[in-house]
Chains A and B, each alone.
Chain A
Amino acid sequence: MTSLFLFGATEGGLFDFDATLPLMAVQVVLLTFILNALFFKPVGRVVEEREGYITTSRAEAKQKLAEVQRLESELKDQLKAARQAAQKVITDAEQDSEKLYKEALALATAEANASRESARREIDSQRDSALTQLKEEAEQLGNLIVDRLLAAK
């Protein structure tokens, strides 16, 4: 039953080469083409599509993240500028009102001084004119007295 034909067997044996060899080669070549069409190409397409999808998604996400960070810093800058502007407006307004107050105060003081000065000047001039008049009248009176006295003599 068991036969261990090795080399040199006329019928059968381990090294029995025949048409099995070329037919098996043809079969494997055919299998290569079939597997290429049914397996390697479609699976390769799917895997590479997915790899491409992942790459583009990652790139997109990175781009979006950068955009978000840019916008965020821009907004921060804007917020800072707005704060500064508001602060400036407040300071300006304070300064303005201070200035206005001071101006108004100065104006009022000046006016008051001026009116006081003019009043004093008027008083002085009136007093002077009154004194002059009095002097003149006194002189006339004196003259009159002198004239009368001289005439009576």
Chain B
Amino acid sequence: MGSFPFFLPFAELEVGQHLYWQLGGLRIHGQVFMTSWIVIGALLALVVAGTKKMERDPRGVQNLLEFLWDYIRDLARTQIGEKVYRDWMPFIGTLFLFIFVSNWGGALVPWRLIHLPSGELGAPTADINTTVALALLVSLSYFYAGLSNKGLRYFEYYVHPTPIMLPFKIVEDFTKPLSLSFRLFGNILADELVVAVLVFLVPLVLPVPVMFLGLFTSAIQALIFATLAAYYIGEAVEEHH
């Protein structure tokens, strides 16, 4: 990019470069963990501030937390069902909040102004490792939910309604995490790339609507991920008759 006549500090594209940290014999992406800690810190700060002094007549941050709680409860209850939604509400809620705050953090905070030796800060969900980790957790969760609720009868689901469905259901177990992780990863990374390319080409005005679109996409993606996770768990615990 240095060959271009103009140069802006936040208009660089560094895709696929990572800040590597060595942790014993393991290599991890430092920039992902740095932003994820900021996201987790923001979430915990909000939660601690809101639950510090809770009253029957809610005031201040408690209102926001109760709204979020209600929203997540409705989401979990409609997808998982009345019987077991309570067990999975924290997981679904954590997925939603973590992804939502990550996405919006990536879209709203000008991370690029902080210079790293390699790679750049951004939404943790724009890294394939994060989204695959979340998707695999969802896979484990729905297997666990199905097995713990129905025991070995869970596998009836694979031949329901007819045994012809067996290969499709098995393929589904692989496509579910794949589609979950790639949908989130692709959307968030694409949004960051589109904004970065537009900022690089036309630094003023034009990127703003795309940034708003990015905020919209970010919220939708968090909702989609949480809803699908809840739906898969609900599908696993559902009783066939």
Interface, chain A (partner B; CB < 8 A): 1-6, 9, 12-25, 27-29, 31-36, 38-40, 42-44, 46-47, 49-50, 53
How many A-B pairs have beta carbons closer than 8 Å: the answer is 142
Given the contacts A25-B137, A39-B69, A4 and B16 also touching, CB distance less than 8 Å = yes
CB-defined interface of B91-103 with A at 8 Å, one 1/0 digit per residue? 1011101100000
Known: A5-B15, A20-B28. A43 touches B129 (CB 8 A): no
Residue B65 is within 8 A (CB to CB) of chain A in the complex: yes
Whether B89 and A40, one on each chain, are in contact in the complex, defined by CB atoms closer than 8 angstroms, is yes
By a CB distance below 8 angstroms, the chain B residues around A2 are: 1, 12-15
In the complex, what residues of B have CB within 8 A of residue A13's CB?
A: 16
Q: Is the interface of A mostly helix, strand, loop or mixed?
A: helix
- Name the interface size band of chain B: 35 or more
- With A18-B28, A42-B54 already in contact, the answer to whether A32 and B133 are too (CB < 8 A) is no
B17 — which chain A residues lie within 8 A by C-beta?
A: 3, 5, 12
CB-nearest residue of chain A relative to B128?
A: A15
The answer for the CA separation of A60 and B225 in the assembled complex, in Å, is: 43
Mark contacts of B1-31 with chain A using CB atoms, 8 A cut-off: 1 yes-contact digit, 0 otherwise.
1100000000011111110000100111100
B70 at the interface (CB under 8 A from A): yes
Can you offer 24 A-B residue contacts whose CB atoms are under 8 A? A3-B14, A3-B16, A4-B15, A20-B32, A20-B130, A20-B133, A21-B129, A23-B26, A23-B28, A23-B33, A24-B36, A24-B124, A24-B129, A25-B136, A28-B137, A33-B90, A38-B44, A39-B69, A39-B93, A40-B72, A43-B65, A46-B58, A46-B66, A50-B56
Known A-B contacts A9-B16, A24-B133, A35-B94; the reply to A47 vs B70 at CB < 8 A is yes
Question: Which residues of B lie under 8 Å from residue A21 when comparing CB positions?
Answer: 129-130, 132-133, 136
**Are A16 and B18 in contact, CB atoms less than 8 angstroms apart?**
yes
Interface status of B191 (Cβ within 8 A of chain A): no
Known pairs A19-B28, A21-B136, A39-B93 / 7 extra A-B pairs, C-beta < 8 Å = A2-B1, A6-B16, A12-B18, A14-B128, A35-B47, A44-B73, A46-B56
**Contact between A43 and B137, CB atoms less than 8 A apart:** no
Is B226 in contact with chain A by the CB < 8 A criterion?
no
Contact with A along B68-112 (1 / 0, CB 8 A): 011011000000000000000111011101100000000000000
B133 A28 Cβ-Cβ under 8 A? yes
Query: Does B51 lie at the interface of the complex (its beta carbon under 8 Å from any beta carbon of A)?
Result: yes
Chain B residues near A50: list those with CB within 8 A. 56
A19 to B15 CA separation, bound complex (whole angstroms): 19
- Provide the main secondary structure of the chain B interface: helix
Interface pairs A-B: 8 shortest CB-CB: A19-B26, A20-B129, A36-B90, A5-B16, A25-B133, A24-B133, A32-B94, A21-B129
Kindly list chain B residues whose C-beta atoms are within 8 Å of the C-beta of A22.
133
Q: Given A23-B33, A32-B90, A42-B54, do A47 and B69 touch, yes or no (CB 8 Å)?
A: yes
Knowing A12-B18, A20-B28, the reply to whether A1 touches B66 (Cβ < 8 A) is no
Q: How far is the CA of A28 from the CA of B91 in the complex (A)?
A: 9
Q: Assess the B129–A17 pair: CB atoms within 8 A.
A: yes
A110 to B50, CA, bound (A): 103
Q: Are B91 and A18 in contact (CB under 8 A)?
A: no
State the CA gap A70–B127 with chains docked (Å).
69
Complex: A33 Cα to B91 Cα, angstroms? 8
**CB of B48 closer than 8 Å to a CB of A:** yes
Residues on A with beta carbons closer than 8 Å to the beta carbon of B136: 21, 25
